[in-house]
Structure 1
C-alpha cells in the first residue's frame, strides 16, 4: 500500500524530547504499530527506507533517535570511522534506564495513535536489535524481530557496559525472532551460542535464524549489503508481525 510523507513528533522522556519519525500507510484504516530501532548511526537513509518498507506493508512505524539526550534533533552520523566512533561512544555513555524509558515512550505513543489498532511490535538492527530485545520486556509488545543484535552476549550495553538483558529473558511475553549473520564478527559463534542457551533455558516463544551473511547485510549501502538475504528476512519479519499484530 502507499504511505504518507514521514511525520515528525517529539516524544517526552525523562531526559528530554525524543525526536521520532513516523511512517504510516495512507487511508483511514487502523494499523498495528512498530517501533523501529536504528543502528548506532541514528535515522540514516537505509533506516528510513526500511521504515517505509514496513509502513508499506500496513504498519505505523515509529523511528526514535536513540541518542536524543546527547545530539541535537535531526543529527545523522555518517557511515564512516568517525561516525562509528561517535556512535559507539554514545552507546556506552547512555544509561541503560534511559534506553528502557525511551522504549516505554515509543510503545505508549503507538498504542494510543489515532490510526492504531492497539497492537505493538518492534524491530531493531545492530544496536537497535538489542534495543528491540529489551523493548520485548514490556508486556504489551506482542512481536519482536532482532537483526544481529550487538552486546547481548557480552552484557555490555549502556553506561558502565553492564546490562541485564539475558537475565530478563523471562520477562518476554510476545513472540521473538532473532536473525544473525554467521560471518558477523560483532556477534561470533560463541556469543550466539550463549544467547541461544539463555533463551532455551528461559523458554520464551522464539525462533532462531542464522544465515551466511556479514554484519549489516540488511543495510542497502556498502559492500556488505545482501539484497537477496534482506528480501528474505524482511519478509519473515512482516509475516511474524502480520500474524501476531493483525492489520
Structure 2
C-alpha cells in the first residue's frame, strides 16, 4: 500500500510530504530513499515500492519542498534536466540533511525497527552526509557527486556505509574517485564498489542511463547489505 504522509521538519518551519510504501506484514525495518535532482518522481516511487515488496517500510521525502513542493522531473527530457540542475544549484544541503533526519525519526517510529538510507546522485551525496551527521543504522550511496569535497566529515562515520561508484562517471572524475578511495578505503565502516565502464546514474530505475547488468549487481549488493544490517 502506498500513500503520502506529512513530516514535521526539525526547525518547525511547516511540514513536507514523503511518499510511503508499506509492506504487506510487519516491517523488517525501514528504508529512506533519497531523490536525485528530479524530485520524488516515478523512478523514486518505484524504488520505494520495490523495498516494500522486500518487506521494508519505505519513505521518500520531498527534499525540494522549500523551493517547490511536489517536483517530479524526467531525466531524459532536456528542459526538465535543466530544471533539475537549477533546483540543485539552489538547494540548501544542510536543511536537506535535517529533513532527512526528520524522515529517519518518522520511519523509526512507523516501523518500530532499524532505519537504512539509500540515495542516488544528489541523494548519493546526501546519503554520505547522512552517514556523518545522523543516527541512521546503515547507509548506501550511489554515485554521489561532491563527496570528495566533504571527506573532512568522514571521521564521524560510525555506522555501515556502502558506496557504489561508476568508473566512467562524467560528474565524478578520476581525481575525485581517487580521493574518495584514499580517504575511505581504510575505514572499517565503509565498503566501496567500483563499476568499470559505467557512467553516472547507471542504477536509475527508469530512463536511458540505466545499465541493467550493472544496476542489478549494485542493487543485489544493496539488498544484501540492508538484510545484514537492518535485520
**TM-score normalised according to structure 1 size:** 0.86
User: What is the distance in 1 between the residues matched to 2:84 and 2:205?
Assistant: 19
Does 2:203 correspond to 1:206?
no
* Equivalent residues of 2:101, 2:134 under 8 A apart: no
User: What is the distance in 1 between the residues matched to 2:134 and 2:40?
Assistant: 26
User: What is the distance in 2 between the residues matched to 1:26 and 1:207?
Assistant: 31
Which residue of the partner structure matches residue 87 of structure 2? 90
User: What is the distance in 2 between the residues matched to 1:105 and 1:221?
Assistant: 27
Deviations 1:187-207 (A, max 9, x none): 111111111222246x24111
User: What is the distance in 2 between the residues matched to 1:45 and 1:30?
Assistant: 23
> Which structure has more helix as a fraction of its residues?
2
User: What is the distance in 1 between the residues matched to 2:31 and 2:200?
Assistant: 23
Which residue of the partner structure matches residue 162 of structure 1? none
> Structure 2 residue aligned with 1:179, among 150, 164, 174?
164
Summarize the Cα distance change of 1:85–1:204 in structure 2 as closer, same or farther, 3 Å threshold. Answer: farther
> Structure 2 residue aligned with 1:131, among 126, 134, 156?
126
User: Residue 141 of structure 1: SS of its match in structure 2?
Assistant: coil
Deviations 1:113-152 (A, max 9, x none): 1xx1321110001001111111112452121111111122
- Matched positions, count: 227
* Residue correspondence of structure 1 range 1-247 to structure 2 within 5 A: 4=1, 6-13=2-9, 14=11, 15-27=13-25, 29-72=26-69, 74-79=70-75, 80-113=77-110, 116-153=111-148, 155=149, 165-200=150-185, 203-211=187-195, 212-246=197-231
User: What is the distance in 1 between the residues matched to 2:188 and 2:84?
Assistant: 31
RMSD, aligned CA: 1.6
* Equivalent residues of 1:179, 1:210 under 8 A apart: yes
User: What is the distance in 2 between the residues matched to 1:136 and 1:208?
Assistant: 14
* Equivalent residues of 1:220, 1:227 under 8 A apart: no
Deviations 1:196-244 (A, max 9, x none): 222246x241111111312111124333211121111111101111101
* Equivalent residues of 2:61, 2:100 under 8 A apart: no
Structure 1: 5+ residue stretches without partners: 156-164
**TM-score normalised according to structure 2 size:** 0.92
* Equivalent residues of 1:141, 1:173 under 8 A apart: no
Segments of 4+ moved more than 6 angstroms: none
User: Residue 207 of structure 1: SS of its match in structure 2?
Assistant: strand
